[in-house]
A and B are shown apart, each in its own frame.
Chain A
Amino acid sequence: MKDDYIEDLDAGTHHDLNELSELDATGGQGVNIWVIMAGLAVLAVLAGFMITDGFEAETYFYDVDQAVAQGEDLIGQTVRIKGQVEAGTVEGNDGELGRTFRIAEKGESIWVTYNGVLPDTFEEGVEVVAQGKVNKDYKLVADEVLVKCPSRYEGGPSSHPDDIPISPQASR
């Protein structure tokens, strides 16, 4: 594309296009090696920061039994816990906020309270993933509850590279 070189229009914002003929001129004296070293050092430090920060941003993901197995250590942690909603433990009705229910896995269970809107696929017996902090009463105060999709969408050919979301809420 020759056109790109036709800089005659530019009232001098850039060097005129003698650059092209200068291509065979000797290069500049180059940038001081120390500048490059410093740049790389800064980069390395930043990368280190990013990675350690990433470690801190990890949210552990447990099944209910794994979570309960930690005993007192779980209190105060921010975790994601997966389990089945126990029949008969769901308090409150659809169309309300502030719901409480118990999720269980392998004989262990934990109470979950959630102040937001539960997804409409939520019902007794479904698998949910609740994310939040465990309080002193050993209840998970969730700020996000996801419902695993009905089995109809599992297995068979995926309908899309990024297929069906677990529920219409993603972490924000």
Chain B
Amino acid sequence: MNTIGSFAIHLALYISLVGTALAFVAGRTGSKRFLHASRFAAFSTFGSVAVAASILMHALITHDFSLEYVVSNTDTHMPLFYLIGAFWGGQAGSLLFWISIVTLFTALCLWTYRDSYQEFMPWVTMVCLALTAGLLIILAFGSNPFEGYEVINHPLDGHGLNPILQSPKMVIHPPSLLTGLASMTIPFAFAIAALIVGSTDAEWVKAARSWILVPWLFLTVGNILGGMWAYEELGWGGYWAWDPVENASFMPWLLSTALIHSLMIQERRGMLKRWNIGLMLGTFILTLFGTYITRSGLIESVHTFAQSAIGDYFLYLLLTVIAVSVGLFALRWKSLKSTRRLDSVASREATFMLNNWLFCAMTGVVFFGTLWPKLKEGLTGQEVSITAPWFDKWMVPLGIILVFLMGIGTLIAWRKASWSHFRRDFIGPVLTFMFGTPALIAAYWFVRGKDLGVIPSGLTSFYAIMMVAGCVFVTATIVQEFYRGIQARRKNNDESVFSALVMLFKKQRRRYGGYIVHMGMIFAFIAFSGNALKVEKDVALTIGESVHVGDVSLTFRGLSEENPPGQKLILANIDVYRDGVFQYQMHPGKAQFGEQTMMTSEIDIKSTPLEDVYVAFVNASANGQSATFKVFIGPFTWWYWFGMVVMMLGAFICLWPTREAVATLGRSPLGFGRYVAMGILVAVIFMPLAVWQIESSSDWGSAARWQKAGLIDPEASVTPQLAPPTNDRPASIEPAAIEKSS
């Protein structure tokens, strides 16, 4: 079985190399037959990789401990959900997952465009297959998931997955991020193809516009879910720490967001040709760069990395991609001259350009802050770190300008805004923002804010107020857009308000879907501005003692300990009062699992749209008489997660396939391809909801499942038979720990 897996990887490598050559010939000669052959090479590559992935998944689920990968990432007590998660939990598996996504999207893209973009497609095929081959080389020679264990030290039980990673969010955060990074390959391939063909028309832009939204959506979701996980598991009360690894996945997001906007300009007005190609190449290079720094251990962060050999492989891949991209770009520099210039600084194009510059500036800030410490260490040997406040100092003002631009870009006319336009379009939103902002802020301050007892510094409050002002302004512009759209439709077609709204989404899905995405962004910004009033306090309490944090008072009622065999579960009981009235009990805890020496925190959060009350139990005296906690009150944090859902919804509206698009998918032999495509989209959208459901109605995310695992008689679990790794898998074990949630 594992031999087959290993063979499938090598076969995929072989086919992708052959396919690259075929595609090259097809591109040079324009031969249809070669193109056809290369397309099938891409499909076969996908097939082989899928076989390898299925075998690895099977090995994980059946506890095949003859594989080192399975031993290091799973154990016999893990529920099925985490066994599946272990597929991308380790290095080799996540790389295999990455390749699966690249080949899947390549196959999808080639299938969709089998009759269009004839002069592009050979080159697109070539680039995708060449990249696949590069990644497969890393997988086959650098980190093969089918490495076996010697019979002599064949383990009986795996090492398991670090308990801190065993939360449902951690199961879906890596794959969504990896999917985002991997699917960036397709628009990149189109850009390179455009450079090779030397085509100056907007064909690649059309294709890229359809394909860039998918990676963007996955990157967004992946980043936010990572923050969600950190917020709920790590106990420092925040969701973003400007950690190098976070930054690595944030930079491609910034550039691709810029790209989505500037592609629109090129499609409409034939401008920014060079800029777009440059951005596309930059985005892809950053995705590889991000993988490189997280995989190579180049940058130490609060995350520890496995130092591994594949870092070097990635470096070579990265350098090759950079060399090819920059070389081609330089070669075609002249022919990419834009056909038109900017008409006026007061125009939508100019606003979009400014937005692009801002995104690039942000990327620059993050890039510098991430890389400089490493550079400096290389140059002088002195280790330094650049701390989060520096990032905030630069990113916050840029973010505020960006929010205002979001509103202006929505309103301002193409080409050249005239004074009359300006009056007609801006008067409503500007008035709303002039009167609405102070009203909103004053209302919040007197109803709730002043009770928190935080007086932010002048600059912080200025930023927070500006951010809220920007949010009000943008909201007003979006409402106005929808209102006008609905009014216009009703005037022309005599529809009800609701059906007019639906028709707007149907007829101009990208535009109105985009507004919904903007709205989601605004919700996230509301959450950021809430941080200005964040209360945080480290407290030590003896039993019966109370402490005031903001206007909430916490009373420590003692610890309760449970000792199922082989582990320890300590819960702290806290009564929460507000204004002397009892509100609820909170139970932050700690859990120690199996043979792990590390205790993991189980943080308790009470979240409402107004604010989160967040308590992490840190440690206690030996007799349990006193304990220390970290307590946070974070206004509006809820809106960050809500913003994610709204952004997904918006992206989803943009991506919803048109009738024509579905038609191009054609009748697959079984006729259900389109349903699968739709199903995947629907699944993506409902994923967060599903996770919440899983977490709340089962014990998968909590320490309770360890209790259950502890109740299983260790004698009862069947030990796997020793089997030489070259053989088929050993007799499979009953996965003892798949519990039925009661």
| A-B complex is real | yes
CB 8 Å contact bits of B237-249 with A (1 = contact, 0 = none): 1100111011000
* A11 CA to B174 CA, complexed, in Å: 44
Given contact pairs A149-B598, A163-B305, enumerate 15 new A-B contacts (beta carbons under 8 Å).
A3-B508, A9-B504, A13-B481, A28-B415, A50-B394, A54-B386, A93-B622, A95-B627, A116-B538, A117-B538, A120-B618, A156-B159, A157-B72, A158-B91, A171-B387
Contact B305 A165 (CB under 8 A): no
Contact A94 B622 (CB under 8 A): yes
* A35 CA to B616 CA, complexed, in Å: 53
Q: Is B24 an interface residue (CB 8 A)?
A: no
Min Cβ gap A123→B in Å is: 10
Residue of B nearest to A114 (CB): B538
* A153 CA to B76 CA, complexed, in Å: 19
Specify which chain B residues have a CB less than 8 angstroms from the CB of A169 in the assembled complex: 234-236
* A166 CA to B236 CA, complexed, in Å: 12
Q: Quick one: which of A150-172 are within 8 Å of B by CB?
A: 150, 152-172
Contact A164 B621 (CB under 8 A): no
Stretch of A55-63, A103-111, A133-141 lying at the B interface: A55-63
* A43 CA to B373 CA, complexed, in Å: 23
Specify which chain A residues have a CB less than 8 angstroms from the CB of B416 in the assembled complex: 28
Show 10 residue pairs from A and B whose CB-CB distance is below 8 angstroms, ordered by the A residue.
A4-B511, A8-B488, A12-B424, A97-B538, A159-B162, A160-B89, A160-B165, A168-B236, A168-B601, A170-B388
Residue of A nearest to B166 (CB): A159
Min Cβ gap A140→B in Å is: 16
* A165 CA to B242 CA, complexed, in Å: 13
Q: Is A46 an interface residue (CB 8 A)?
A: yes
Choose among A4, A31, A120, A154 the residue that contacts B304 (Cβ–Cβ < 8 A). A154
Choose among A118, A121, A150, A162 the residue that contacts B294 (Cβ–Cβ < 8 A). A162
Specify which chain A residues have a CB less than 8 angstroms from the CB of B368 in the assembled complex: 50-51, 54
Q: Is A23 an interface residue (CB 8 A)?
A: yes
Q: Is A72 an interface residue (CB 8 A)?
A: no
Q: Quick one: which of B621-637 are within 8 Å of A by CB?
A: 621-622, 625-630
CB 8 Å contact bits of A57-81 with B (1 = contact, 0 = none): 1111110000000000000000010
Choose among B303, B344, B364 the residue that contacts A163 (Cβ–Cβ < 8 A). B303
B interface vs A, CB < 8 Å?
69, 72-73, 89-92, 94, 159, 161-162, 164-165, 170, 174, 177, 209, 226, 230, 233-238, 241-243, 245-246, 268-270, 291, 294-295, 301-306, 308, 339-345, 348, 357, 361, 364-365, 368-369, 372-373, 376, 382-390, 393-394, 411, 413-416, 424-425, 481, 484-485, 487-489, 492, 504, 507-511, 536, 538-540, 590, 596-599, 601, 616, 618-622, 625-630, 658
* A54 CA to B165 CA, complexed, in Å: 33
Choose among A15, A122, A159 the residue that contacts B414 (Cβ–Cβ < 8 A). A15
* A27 CA to B342 CA, complexed, in Å: 8
Closest 9 pairs between A and B when the two form their complex, measured CB to CB: A28-B343, A27-B340, A95-B621, A57-B390, A30-B341, A162-B245, A158-B306, A170-B241, A61-B383
Min Cβ gap B463→A in Å is: 16
Contact B304 A171 (CB under 8 A): no
Q: Is A37 an interface residue (CB 8 A)?
A: no
Residue of A nearest to B271 (CB): A27
Contact A118 B245 (CB under 8 A): no
Residue of B nearest to A12 (CB): B424
Contact A93 B621 (CB under 8 A): yes
Specify which chain A residues have a CB less than 8 angstroms from the CB of B72 in the assembled complex: 156-157
Contact A117 B629 (CB under 8 A): yes
Choose among B339, B596, B625 the residue that contacts A152 (Cβ–Cβ < 8 A). B596
* A51 CA to B386 CA, complexed, in Å: 11
Choose among A53, A96, A167 the residue that contacts B393 (Cβ–Cβ < 8 A). A53
Residue of A nearest to B307 (CB): A155
Q: Is A47 an interface residue (CB 8 A)?
A: yes
Min Cβ gap A24→B in Å is: 9
Specify which chain A residues have a CB less than 8 angstroms from the CB of B270 in the assembled complex: 23
Min Cβ gap B225→A in Å is: 12
Min Cβ gap A59→B in Å is: 5
Q: Is A89 an interface residue (CB 8 A)?
A: no
Contact B339 A27 (CB under 8 A): yes
Q: Quick one: which of A8-24 are within 8 Å of B by CB?
A: 8-15, 19, 23
Contact A53 B306 (CB under 8 A): no
Q: A13-B484, A54-B386, A116-B538 are in contact. Are A94 and B619 (CB under 8 A)?
A: yes
Specify which chain A residues have a CB less than 8 angstroms from the CB of B386 in the assembled complex: 54, 57-59
Specify which chain B residues have a CB less than 8 angstroms from the CB of A146 in the assembled complex: 302
Specify which chain B residues have a CB less than 8 angstroms from the CB of A13 in the assembled complex: 411, 413, 425, 481, 484
